[in-house]
Amino acid sequence: MAVSNETRFDAAYKAIMQLAKAVLMSKGYRTLTSKPGHHQTMIHALSKIIGLDQDTMIMLDALRKQRNAVDYSGDLVADSVVNECVSHAKSLSMEASEWLSSEHLDRPEQDITLP
């Protein structure tokens, strides 16, 4: 059974959002998911925090708009859009990983005690 374009797109888009969230949280920030616009805020923060270039920001924002169309209107996703989203998820994964590694390289590991 093949995975639909819509499911593949959704998975890649969610990967982008989780990476953005990890970057924000590493700096002590978070967005309120109960407020509209939190995806847009996370995407735009990437330029400020890790220096993501303007062209990538524009594409990630276009993917965000496509995600809204898919989720709220039931639009279908073309192969090219899926491939673009997967490509950007992979690229952001590498950039965020490199940034997180360099940002936290000199910090000793800390044990976390949960209540």
pLDDT digits (tens, 9 = 90+) for 9-45: 999 999 999 999 999 999 998 888 888 889 999 999 9
| 46 phi/psi in degrees, rounded to 5 | -60, -35
Residue 63 has pLDDT above 60, yes or no: yes
pLDDT digits (tens, 9 = 90+) for 29-39: 888 888 888 99
pTM: 0.85
Average pLDDT over residues 77-103: 94
The pLDDT of residue 115 is above 60: no
Structure-model confidence comparison of residues 106 and 83, the more confident one: 83
